[in-house]
Structure 1
Amino acid sequence: MKAPSFDGDPRNWPMFIQMFKVFVHDAVSSDAERIAHLYDALTPAIRKDIGGALLNPGLYQHALNELQRRYGNPQIVSQACTSSLLKLRSFRDNDFNALRAFSADLHSVVATLRLGGYGMELYSHATLSQLVSKLPRL
């Protein structure tokens, strides 16, 4: 299986880092190979942001730590997920395609929050109120 890629969206960080750990970090024996895979997994913009940390195998752990700080910080992931929830579009009664899209987006965000250990955000009164307001009125 191919190593995962990361696009810089904090919502995708928990899945990326878990897959990267399984398919690269734990499976490859040298930091030189690991950093090459990490380099390939990142977008050009992210590579530029963390600069020279990707150019030296001795900085592999530093590069991972920097990525974790920028994209895997629980507060950053939680904020990105909450923002995504608040951007969900409301839909009309009997619009099953819109309901399906709403449901898929909601499940994706919930899975990310749970996977990353940020599940408590799901119980936020403000977040739940915003979501309920997007549902059709009975």
Structure 2
Amino acid sequence: MTDASSPTLPEGEPVGRVIAMPADTNPEGDIFGGWLLAHMDLAGATPAFQVAQGRCSTVAVDGMVFHQPVSVGDEVSIYARVVRTGRTSVGVRVEAWKRPRYGQESIKVTEGVFTYVAIDAERRPRLLPGRE
């Protein structure tokens, strides 16, 4: 793990908040990375849906870095911003920050770039609005 406790601020808009619960832990008592990844995927879809003006599907996660563990009771806030658009795809940088149960300081715990593809009713890729 790298140190992410530097005094930086989240990048992007707030798109989700959740409390880590005991059922979300691995045998060591830390929150599963997959649990966190799922929440980040859901939250990152918000700006992708706005850009695509409709349904999207996750096709890739790039550069996922876990800086700090998340513990039971931590409040996890997720921030996202669009970093690129293609003909059918939207790249969204997603950051997750934790605030310990009895603390005030927020600490970045993970980040990554999620790629979503706009899809039609038959679940096939479609052009983003304005790309016709």
If the length of structure 2 is used for normalisation, what is the TM-score?
0.28
> Which is greater in Rg?
1
Higher RCO (C-alpha 8 Å, min separation 6): 2
Which structure is higher in strand share? 2
TM-score, structure 1 as length reference:
0.28
Between structures 1 and 2, the one with greater helix share: 1
